[in-house]
Structure 1
Amino acid sequence: MAETTNGSADGLRGGYFTRTRAAVSLLFFINGLMMGAWAPKIPIFAASLSLSEAHLGIMLFVFGVGSLLLMPIAGFQISRFGSSRVVLVAALLFIPTIVFITFVDALWVGAVAIFLFGGLAGAMDVAMNANAVEVERSMRRSIMSSCHAFWSLGGLVGAATGGVLIAAIGALGHALLVAGVAFALLAIARTMILVDQPHPSERRERARLPLSPLPWLIGLIALFSMIPEGAILDWGALYLGKELNASTAHSGFAFAAFSLAMAAMRFAGDLVRDRFGAVTTLRLCTIASFVGLIIAGQAPNVTIALIGFGIAGIGISNMVPIAFSAGGNIPGLAPGIGLSVVTSLGYSGILFAPSIIGFIAEYTSLSSVFTAVSLLNLVVLALSGLARHADRIGEAHP
């Protein structure tokens, strides 16, 4: 790896929590904060445009289209300029969209706003994950699980405070406050971000898709692990408010309970996997996800639903990191190629499934949807033996 900045040297000196690690952790927290703040705004967004569940599903589909269009563009820019420059530009453009999305008063304005919100969220996501990989290389230790824990922590803060702030200072005041906090955190992180060099060869390598079914099967694990996460993010608040009669202040607690449990378990994720192995850890997590979604979907009141979402968060917390690790350590396949397949399939679940859920909920109920989504865990359980490749990290990267 090319030498970069003093932050890289800081990592090489062996400190467990370096400046560059603090910076990338803040980037994950900012992205999670924005996504968490969006969760309690969804019912308000739908009401301002008089959207039914089906029409809201279309808007969430636009969100997914924006992400999947801008994510590869961000990847191309990373290969040209490096992740540090791209993540800063993406974050600077992404943060104001939480304010823009508050002003929607027509369908086309709402579509443009949610396209930019989803697209720039995805662009920042790609760039911050790429920067986290560079920090891992400079530190010579794994930090990805804890980075995703900071994302969950940001989601928790955004979702838990969102409904209360909206009720207290209004939707616009909430958006301005979130944007202000995000900009302040970005200013702190900016001077510490590890400045990496472009990697043009990675773009050429990723252009070749593998013919082996193994990365695609591991991608299914990621896909069916992330669909429940997307369902809770985009429909949890509406479920609590519409079907369980939660107040606006409490509607964001679904994703907050989920994020709290997920963040706690992701901070412990590496230790748990080292103790029990990837296969056993994935199976235990999958069972927890299944049980939690059943409880949430069949809950008679808000309290039981929050308990269910929390249990689901415990389960889903390490399912995706294990799938990503397995995808990057497939024997005979370059890590970048396998990981690109797994991450693409996984993110398509969190981006597009919520829009499909909207159409289903139009004719059934969100209670039925959360119960049905739990069945995806049975597929993950059937494929869980493939998680053994996640234990090859030391062998693949001595």
Structure 2
Amino acid sequence: MTAMFLANGFIIGSWAPQIPLVMSRLAINETLLGVLILLFGIGALIAMPSCGYLMGRHGSRRVLRVFALMSCLGLPLVVLAPNFWAVMPAMVFFGAAVGGMDVTMNTNAVAVEQHLGRAIMSSSHGFWSLGGFFGGGLGGIAIQKAGYLVHAGVVTGVVLAVVLTAWHFLLADPHRQVDEHRQATRFSWPSSPLIYLIGSVALFSMIPEGAVLDWAALYLQQELGADIAMAGFAFAAFSGAMAVMRFLGDRVRARFGAVRTLRVSALIAATGILVAGLATSPLVAIGAFAFAGLGIANMVPIAFSAAGNQDGVAPGTGMSVVTTMGYSGILVAPSVVGFVGERTGFGPIYVALAVLLVIVCVKADLVRSADFTHRR
């Protein structure tokens, strides 16, 4: 299961250094690039709620396998598109594949947590961040040395190999029968307001993450004077720091509890994003993004774990709702960031995003269901 997180993160990380090249290759501005990022998000938001229904019928393991194979095709379709009109449907497909894979692998991680009786969500997301680190860090260098087409082909081959290796080791859902009974006919949004409040925690945590993923490389290039290789290290440093902290996150959460961990993490993330927005050199910005990654690392895993273990809500349903809301921040909100950034620059936007992370700090009490001691 952790291999699926690694593969998904590697795809997203590899997409980050391709973004400035898509912009220059298609001769589009930040606003049109924002439209493409919005289409990526729309594809994901179409797939994510549907996953609740599909997992109720077939279990997360089977649905994860399908979306993982689809995800292998996303990046090549985007980079092979010859013009803006051709890349639009490719972005929708790419977003749907990656988004669907994300929901199902997180739901499968909840099944593993329940099977083991301990937290593993943070370390699973650590593998996602590790994939993002290698994808972003090596991607910029590979593109500069071999070109964007060769890079996309290598990424596809690596991801396919990882997915097929992990294929037979995924855990079947212990709650599949419950989900079948509740969701076999259609997906329905849960009535509990707490799920949506937890979703807002994921949303405010992931908007800054999306802004780093989609716009940090361009920010370093256009406003701080970095080249394409150095620009790729913005997301790589962010993901690398997240990976380190996420591998420690389950122990930190067990020691201090989900609420306290989320509260402190949000303050660290807010500080890092604020400094990145005020940076005057690429190296300072990269270091600040890395510091922000240390904070953001465990915020999303805690929110997802709280959603998948919420009383009275099936794990697949809770995960679908919270991931849909959360990934609106990483997939849809960056299009607004691009529109505003074209007019104001990206520095002020990162400063403003620090406020959202302070709000997460205030709302930390919402994630108590992520604590195994609380559930027992």
TM-score under structure 1 normalisation? 0.88
For residues 143-190 of structure 1, what are the alpha-carbon distances to aligned partners after superposition, in whole Å with 9 as ceiling and x for unaligned?
Answer: 222111111110111000000000111000101111111111122112
Q: In structure 1, list runs of 5 or more residues that go unmatched.
A: 1-23
Query: Aligned equivalents of 2:81 and 2:28: distance in 1?
Result: 12
Relative to structure 1, the CA distance from residue 265 to residue 335 in structure 2 (aligned partners, 3 Å threshold; closer, same or farther) is farther
Please, which runs of 5 or more residues in structure 2 have no aligned partner?
Answer: none
Counterpart of 2:127, as a letter, is: F
Q: Say if 2:191 is the partner of 1:210.
A: yes
Deviates most, 359-368 or 128-137? 128-137
Q: Separation in 1 of the partners of 2:64 and 2:364?
A: 33
Identity of aligned residues (%): 45
Tell me how far 1:33 sits from its aligned partner: 0.3
CA distance in 1, matches of 2:306, 2:66: 31
CA deviation after TM superposition for structure 1 residue 322, in Å: 2.1
1:200 aligned onto 2:177:
no
Residue in 2 that maps onto 1:11: none
Residue of structure 1 equivalent to 2:203: 223
**Aligned CA distance change for structure 1 residues 146 and 127 (closer, same or farther; 3 Å):** same
Alignment partners' CA distance in 2, 1:304 and 1:287: 19
The higher relative CO (CA closer than 8 Å, separation ≥ 6) is in: 2
Q: Please identify which structure carries the higher helix content.
A: 2
Give SS of 2:147's match. Answer: helix
Q: Aligned ranges for residues 97-108 of structure 1 at < 5 Å?
A: 97-108=74-85
- 1:114 alignment counterpart: 91
In structure 2, give the amino acid aligned to 1:334.
V
> What amino acid is aligned across from residue 202 of structure 2 in structure 1?
A
Q: Shift of residue 129 of structure 1?
A: 1.8
Aligned pair in 2 of structure 1 residues 162, 274: CA closer, same or farther (>3 Å)?
same
| Counterpart selection for 1:390 from 363, 370, 374 | 370
Q: 1:395 Cα shift?
A: 4.1
Once residues 323 and 394 of structure 1 are traced to their aligned partners in structure 2, the CA distance between those partners, rounded to angstroms, is 16
Q: What do residues 226-251 of structure 1 show as CA deviations (whole Å, max 9, x unaligned)?
A: 10001101111111111111111121
Q: Give, in whole Å, the separation in 1 of the partners of 2:370 and 2:170.
A: 28
Structure 2 counterpart of 1:3: none
Q: Give the Cα–Cα distance (whole angstroms) in 2 for the partners of residues 389 and 81 of structure 1.
A: 26
- Structure 1: distance between partners of 2:305 and 2:112: 16
- Alpha-carbon deviations, 1:212-237, whole Å to 9, x = none? 3x333332221111100011011111
After superposition, the C-alpha distances for 1:39-77 in whole angstroms (9 at most, x for unaligned) are: 000001111221211111111110000001122333322
The equivalent residue for 2:232 is 252
**Is the contact between residue 207 and residue 333 of structure 2 (CA under 8 Å) also seen in structure 1?**
yes
d(CA) in 2 for partners of 1:86, 1:215: 23
| In structure 2, distance between residues paired with 1:227 and 1:202 | 31
Contact map agreement 2:14 2:139 (CA 8 A) in 1: yes
Tell me which of 265, 272, 278 is aligned to 2:258. 278
1:96 Cα offset (Å): 1.9
What SS is found at the alignment partner of 1:268?
helix
Pick the structure with greater CA Rg: 1
Q: Say what the alpha-carbon RMSD is for the aligned residues.
A: 2.0
In the alignment, does 2:290 pair up with 1:310?
yes
Q: Tell me, in whole angstroms, the C-alpha distance in 2 between the residues paired with 1:260 and 1:216.
A: 30
**For the Cα contact (< 8 Å) 2:263–2:362, is it kept in 1?**
no
Contact 1:34 1:155 in 2 (8 A): yes
Partner of 1:40: 17
Contact 1:48/1:104 (<8 A) preserved: no
Deviation at 1:260, TM superposition (A): 0.7
Which segment drifts farther, 376-385 or 180-189?
376-385
TM-score w.r.t. structure 2 length?
0.93
Correspondence for 2:64: 87
Judge conservation of contact 2:48–2:324 (CA < 8 Å) in 1.
no
Task: Tell whether the 8 Å contact from 1:327 to 1:335 is kept in structure 2 after alignment.
Answer: no
Change (3 A) 1:128 1:323: closer
Instruction: State the Cα distance separating 1:335 from its structure 2 match.
Output: 5.4
Letter in 2 for 1:101: V
User: C-alpha separation between the residues in 2 aligned to 1:135 and 1:294?
Assistant: 36
Alpha-carbon offset, residue 206 of structure 1: 6.0
Q: Counterpart of 2:286 in 1: which secondary structure?
A: helix
Using the alignment, how far apart are the partners of 1:341 and 1:91 within structure 2? 20
